[in-house]
Chain A
Amino acid sequence: MRLFTLCVLAALLGGCANLQAVREFGQISSLSAGYTRLSDDYARSPLINKSYTLEAETQQRAVLDAEYQQRLPQAAQLQVYHKVVSTYMATLAELAGDDIPTGAEEVDGLVDAAAKANYLDAASVAPARAIGKLLTDATLNGYRHRELKKVIADGNAPIQALLASLVQSMQEFDASLKIERARANRYYRSLHARARENNREPVAAEQAWASLNAANALFDERERAIPLYIESLKRIGIAHQALYDGRDDIDNHQLLADLKRYTKQIRSAYYAVRAL
C-alpha cells in the first residue's frame, strides 16, 4: 500500500514536472512577445531623425513629421500583435498550471477596435480575431489543464501567422534603424567637414567626430538587438509547432525535452535583447 501511494505520488509529481515545461515555455514566451521597445523605436524613428537635421532643413523636418504620422497606425498594429501573442502565451502557461486564464478577455475587444480603425492589415485580421475568440472562450468557459490540447490545436495556425507578421515587422525595423544610422552619420559628418575645413573650428571638428563615434557605438548595440529578438520570436513559433504536432502525446519525453531546449533558447535571446 505504501509503495502504491509512493508510485501515485511519483506519477503525480512526474505529471507536474511535465506541465512545468509547458508552463515555463508559455511564461518566457509571453514576456518575450510582450517586449515592445523595438517596435516603439520603429514608430518613433522619424522623430529621432528630426534631431539629425541641419537648422536650415525645415522642409526635411516636415517630411519626417509626415512619416511619423504614417507610422502611427503601424505602431498601433504592432502593439496589437505583441499583446495578442503575449496574452496567448500567458494563457498557455496558466492552463499548463491548471489555473483559470486571467486577463485574456480584453484581447478580443482590442483586436475588434484595431480592425475597425483599419490598423490591422488584411492578412492579420483573421488570425488576430481567431486568437481573440479563443482566449475569450478560455476565460468565459473556465478552461483548465484539460483544455490545453484544444487551445494548442486551435491556436497554432493563427499564432504562427501573427508571429510571422511580428518577424516581418522586425525586419522592417532593421531597415529603418539602418536608415536612422545613415541620417546620424550624414549629420555628424557634415558638421565635421564644415568645422575642419581650413582648420576653421578644430575643437568643434573634434566634438563632431566624437559624437559620430558615440552615435555609431549605440547603433551597433541597437542593431545587434534585432536579430536576437527575431530569433526569440522564431523559436517561439518552432516550439509551438512542436507542441501542436505532439498535442496528442503531450507527455512525450522527447517533446518535453525539445520544449525545454527551446525555452532555454527563447530565454537566452530575450535576456540578451533586454541587456542591450
Chain B
Amino acid sequence: MSIITLTADDALKLSAQFRNASIALGDYLYAPENWPTIPEKERATLQSLEVTLLNVASDLVTRAVGVTIKDAEQSLDDLVTATEHARDVIRTIDNVTRTITVVTAMIGLAGVIPTGNAGAIFGALKNLQSAVKGEQTAKAKKAKA
C-alpha cells in the first residue's frame, strides 16, 4: 500500500487517455460504414458515453491536481496502463454492447479518481481491467473461429 498524490502532469496524462478514448469512440460511431448500421438507441448511448468521456477528461484537468490517494493498492502506472488498454480496445470495436461495457467501466474509474477514495478507485480499476480482458478474450475467440 502506498500514498499517491496526483501531480498536474499525472492528471494531464490521465486526461489525455480519456480524451483519446472519446475520439476513438467517435471514429467508430461516425464512420460512414458504421453509422447507418447502428440502431438509434445505441447511437444515443454511444454519443452520451462519448461526451461523458470528454467531461471526465476535462474534470481531470480542472479538479484532479493535488488529489491524494491514501493506502493505494495500485500505482499511477496501473491507472494509466488500464486506461491505455481500454482505449486500444475502443479503437478496434467490433461489438457495440461490449464496447459500452468497457467505456462505462472507464467512466466509473474517472469518476472516482478526483475523490481520492482508495477503495473505490481500486474497485473501479479492477472492473475496468475485467471489462477490457473480456473484450480482448472475445476478440481472440472470434479471430480463431
Contacts and interface: CB of A to CB of B under 8 A. Distances in A.
B62 A67 contact: yes
A176 interface: yes
B100 interface: no
A71 B62 CA distance: 7
Contact of B61 (A175, A182, A190): A175
A248 interface: no
Interface string B24-67: 00100110100110000000000100110011011101110110
A60 interface: yes
Contacts of B58: 46, 67, 176, 179
A57 interface: yes
Contacts of B54: 179, 182-183, 186
B80 interface: no
Contact of A176 (B22, B32, B51, B61): B61
A197 B35 contact: yes
A143 to B, nearest CB: 35
B107 to A, nearest CB: 13
B23 A182 contact: yes
Interface string A55-74: 00100100100010011001
A172 interface: yes
Interface residues of A, number: 27
Contacts, number: 66
Interface in A173-201: 175-176, 178-179, 182-183, 185-186, 189-190, 192-193, 196-198
A175 B65 CA distance: 13
Give the size range of B's interface with the partner.
20 to 34
A193 B35 CA distance: 7
Interface centre among A60, A176, A179 (most CB of B within 10 A): A179
Interface string B1-16: 0000000110010011
B19 interface: yes
Given A67-B62, A74-B62, A186-B54, A175 B30 contact: no
A168 B57 CA distance: 17
Contact of A189 (B30, B55, B59): B30
B6 to A, nearest CB: 13
B63 A70 contact: yes
A171 interface: yes
A171 B30 contact: no
Interface centre among B47, B50, B58, B65 (most CB of A within 10 A): B58
A175 B15 contact: yes
Interface in A57-98: 57, 60, 63, 67, 70-71, 74
Contacts of B63: 70
A228 B56 CA distance: 28
Interface of A: 46, 57, 60, 63, 67, 70-71, 74, 121, 168, 171-172, 175-176, 178-179, 182-183, 185-186, 189-190, 192-193, 196-198
Interface of B: 8-9, 12, 15-16, 19, 22-23, 26, 29-30, 32, 35-36, 47, 50-51, 54-55, 57-59, 61-63, 65-66
11 contacts: A67-B59, A70-B63, A121-B66, A179-B54, A182-B19, A182-B26, A182-B57, A186-B50, A189-B26, A193-B35, A198-B36
Given A183-B51, A186-B50, A197-B35, 14 more contacts: A57-B51, A60-B51, A71-B62, A171-B8, A172-B61, A175-B12, A175-B19, A178-B19, A179-B58, A182-B22, A182-B26, A182-B57, A183-B54, A198-B36
